[in-house]
Structure 1
Amino acid sequence: MEKVKKVLIVGGGIAGLTAAIALKRSGIESHVVEKSADWSVYGVGIIQPSNALRALRSIGLGDLCLADGRGFNGWRFCDANGAVLAEAAAFSVAGPGYPAANGITRPALHKILTEAVLRQETPVSLGVTVESLEDTGDRVNVSFTNGESGRYDLVIGADGAYSKIRGMLFGDAVRPRYTGQGVWRYNFPRPKDFDWGCMYFGKQSKAGLVPLTEQAMYLFLVTAEQGNPRMVTDQLAVLLRERMQEYGGLLGELRELVTDPTAVVYRPMEVVMLPQPWHRGRVLLIGDAAHSGTPHLAEGAAMAIEDSIVLAEMLDGATSIESTLNAFWARRSPRAQLVYETGIQLGEWEQAEWRGEPAAGAAYNEAFANAYAVLSEPI
């Protein structure tokens, strides 16, 4: 087999852009297609844990993320009124000079990734996605929705939890599943002395505040939402304020600042896990297209970034697509499965507790510790 030289990446989000950057560093050219014509992302925050920072540092982007974000070294755990119950440093493996975690806005991260892709002159086609695929054994013939076509050594589906490429490969056998919880997000000004991530525990929800920049922080609020209801867009601010009623202290003050429904981001927690290797022939799925978990461990973007970097490393000099992609699945699946299963378990324990029916044997601290012990290991 000839070496992989030309790759199509479907999806211009975190997974797809990181894949393009990592492949270029391995001497492999790629073409990114993104169905959105404006290539934008919503403007709330994202947590980059230490393993994500380690991965980004390995492709030369870690320092840029720190410069545009706000690092912090751990979490304070508080009651609903803000009284501190415990304090714990987060795990740190990114290297000297790096915090244990970094808060950054999604637009800032998107800008870092897009500028890196454009700087390396990787072609990007916006408003375009795949119409059809034909795997001939030695190449993949691709027809695009704009009427054009191309021929590639490998196609990477990095098009999210509702992946069109996954549907082409596996049909409707694997689809996102709702877990019973939703997460609300909103950005606020950051008090100057707010230097930790803070978690607040209510009787019917949990909330967190995360530094993003010197001036900003963001709120996430996790709630149980029976039946996966469709939230009315122009009522999002009212609905978020209602769900923050049980909190006092700083969160109580911030509740009154939630006034703009267009600035509220609500997402139901939905999960996907492909049970089989994540490829068919020369078409591979990575990131949320293959494995999408809940945000309990803040590892969704980290898993996508790690996927991309490991794949580029393994394709460099590969002599067999089938054996390389099987080996990729074997290497990445245990970590992705751990994040997936731990998130679901934590969510089930939370919902039982909020119903007033605490699960026997619920061990939150142990679950977090076990997961991060594995995630601190090299990828």
Structure 2
Amino acid sequence: MTEVNKVLVVGGGIGGLCAAIALRRQGVAVDLVELKSDWTVYGVGIIQQSNVVREMARLGVLDRYLGAAYAFEDVGIYDLQGNPLARIPGQRLAGPQYPANVGISRLALHQVLSSTAIELGAQVRLGLSVESFEQDADGVDVTFTDASTGRYALLVGADGVYSKIRGMLFGDTYRPRFTGQAVWRYNFARDPSIDHLASYMGPGGNAGLVPLSDNLMYLFSTSHEPENPWYEQAQLADLMRDRIANVGGLVGTLREQITDSTKVVYKPMEVVFVDEPWFKGRVLLIGDAAHATTPHLGQGAGMAIEDALVLSMELAGEGSLQAKLERFMARRFERCKFISEKSVLAGDREMARDQTFDRIGLTKQMLKLTAEPI
């Protein structure tokens, strides 16, 4: 058995923090470096579907943020005027005492994950990244951007879609690609009817409403944005209203309340998938660094969380580090590839306005797959 007793995690987002927590619970020493000096989070909220709820319970953090989140059971699919098309029941994969799904603000989730990692003894340094590293048979020697150094049994690159570690491992082989779409998000006071994830879809547009707490929800919409334009912030409220002009029902009522451009979160969709083992020697990629995808199936962060749990399990197992990382890849590659490819497919069919595409069927297929053990 090869003991992995000290790990460097590069990136303090959801995947990196979950990896730090999982490894500390195994007794592994963890250093975590995050490029941002101000450890803020981007975006408004996040959907944690049944498989993610299961893994967060296993990670031992779910109980710490359920009180700040919104628990719900079902997904509702509606046409653009708010008429119901389907209701997809959730599964309580974490056990009967936990909900099937959870909506939570990214800030609330970050506060729980970061505080938990630090309480468990992860050594966190902000405003720092990796300048270079050199591997040998027994470890990785790392030089940081402040000229400090460290030696580790494993380096985990959890540094996102623009991963510096991915570039160090693979050069320019894998570069983020703009899909042609962007996502728009805006917070509202929660309407009492939004006690589930509500998705509105049709050939003329799409939107969704996600409960985040008893008094908060967010509205999202995806749009075709050819050539990846850059917009002035002052334009964003007008543009978001325009993008959901064909959506009625509650979304239509809310549309005219989108007035503050500073509160619109606009993000072009960029994807990358490392189509070979995500490690070389003692350096491994997880999360968006290895498989960034679109939000169409709501599983991007979920796959990063699963990566973190599986990595900690395999590192605690028998055999050489090479064998452990190969087992990690066997458990993660096809699952993440399915989510990546099908999420992009859903976006492509939206842009093509393909009325024959079975989005509901794909959602059910995804839920069946992700319910399977990791």
TM-score (norm 1): 0.95
Correspondence for 2:225: 225
Cα displacement (A) at 1:247: 2.0
Q: CA deviation at 1:9?
A: 0.3
1:185 correspondence with 2:180: no
The aligned counterpart of 1:165 is: 165
Asked if structure 1 preserves the Cα contact closer than 8 Å seen for 2:33 and 2:125, the reply is: yes
CA contact (8 A) 1:3 1:319 kept: no
Aligned AA (1:319): G
Letter in 2 for 1:301: A
Q: Which has the higher mean CA deviation after the structures are superposed, 148-157 or 265-274?
A: 265-274
Identity %: 48
CA contact (8 A) 1:156 1:286 kept: yes
* 2:126 matches 1:131: no
Distance 1:143 1:124, change over 3 A: same
Q: CA deviation at 1:279?
A: 0.5
Q: Is the 8 A contact 1:202 1:246 kept in 2?
A: no
How many Å apart are 1:369 and its aligned residue? 2.0
Whole-angstrom distance in 1 between the partners of 2:105 and 2:148: 35
Q: CA offsets, 1:83-121, max 9 Å, x none?
A: 223322134312112222110000000001001011112
Q: How does 1:225-264 map to 2 (within 5 A)?
A: 225-264=225-264
Q: Is the 8 A contact 2:194 2:209 kept in 1?
A: no
Counterpart code for 2:276? Q
Amino acid at match of 1:88: I
CA change 1:85–1:363 in 2 (3 A) is: closer
Post-superposition offset of 1:318 = 4.1
Residue 373 (str. 1) matches residue 351 (str. 2): no
In structure 2, what residue type is equivalent to 1:250? L
Where 1:290 maps in the other structure, the secondary structure is: helix
Counterpart of 1:113 in 2: which secondary structure? helix
- Whether the 8 Å contact between 2:157 and 2:283 is mirrored in structure 1 is yes
Whole-angstrom CA distance in 1 between matches of 2:29 and 2:104:
29
Greater CA drift, 237-246 or 151-160: 237-246
Counterpart residue number, 2:42: 42
The equivalent residue for 1:52 is: 52
Amino acid at match of 1:84: P
Q: Distance in 1 between matches of 2:191 and 2:361?
A: 32
Distance 1:98 1:211 in 2: 17
Q: What aligned pairs does 1:72-221 form with structure 2 within 5 A after superposition?
A: 72-221=72-221
Q: Give the conservation status (yes or no) of the 8 Å contact 2:14–2:301.
A: yes
| Distance in structure 1 (CA, Å) of the matches to 2:91 and 2:360 | 14
Q: Report the count of equivalent residues.
A: 374
TM-superposed deviation, 1:358: 4.2
Cα-to-partner distance string for 1:143-172 (whole Å, 9 max, x where unaligned):
001111101110000000110000000001
Aligned-partner Cα distance in 2 for 1:344–1:287: 16
Task: Tell me how far apart the structure 2 counterparts of residues 173 and 193 of structure 1 sit (CA, whole Å).
Answer: 47
Name the TM-score, length of structure 2 as normaliser: 0.96
Q: Does the CA-based 8 Å contact 2:42-2:106 persist in structure 1?
A: yes
Report the Cα distance in structure 1 between the residues aligned to 2:58 and 2:117, rounded to whole angstroms: 16
Distance in 2, Cα, partners of 1:162 & 1:221 = 24
Q: Distance in 1 between matches of 2:90 and 2:272?
A: 27
Q: 1:371 Cα shift?
A: 2.0
Three-state SS of the structure 2 residue aligned to 1:38 is coil
**Contact 1:182 / 1:223 at 8 angstroms: preserved in 2?**
yes
Task: Please tell me whether the aligned partners of residues 69 and 212 of structure 1 are also in contact (alpha carbons under 8 angstroms).
Answer: yes
Q: Give yes or no for contact 2:206–2:247 (8 Å, CA) kept in 1.
A: no
- 1:2 is displaced (CA, Å) by 4.4
Q: Alpha carbons of 1:83 and 1:371: their partners in 2 closer, same or farther (altered >3 Å)?
A: closer
Change (3 A) 1:259 1:34: same
Q: Which residue of 1 aligns with 2:13?
A: 13
In the alignment, what sits opposite 2:311?
311
Structure 2 spans left out of the alignment, 5+ residues = none
Q: How far apart, CA to CA, are the structure 1 residues paired with 2:296 and 2:264?
A: 19
- Give 2:325's aligned residue: 325
- Does the aligned pair in 2 maintain the 1:180–1:269 contact within 8 Å? yes
Point out 4+ residue stretches in structure 1 off by more than 3 angstroms.
none
Counterpart of 2:352 in 1: which secondary structure?
A: helix
Which letter does structure 2 place at the counterpart of 1:332? R
Identify unmatched segments of 5+ residues in structure 1.
none
In 2, are the aligned partners of 1:30 and 1:123 still within 8 Å (CA)? yes
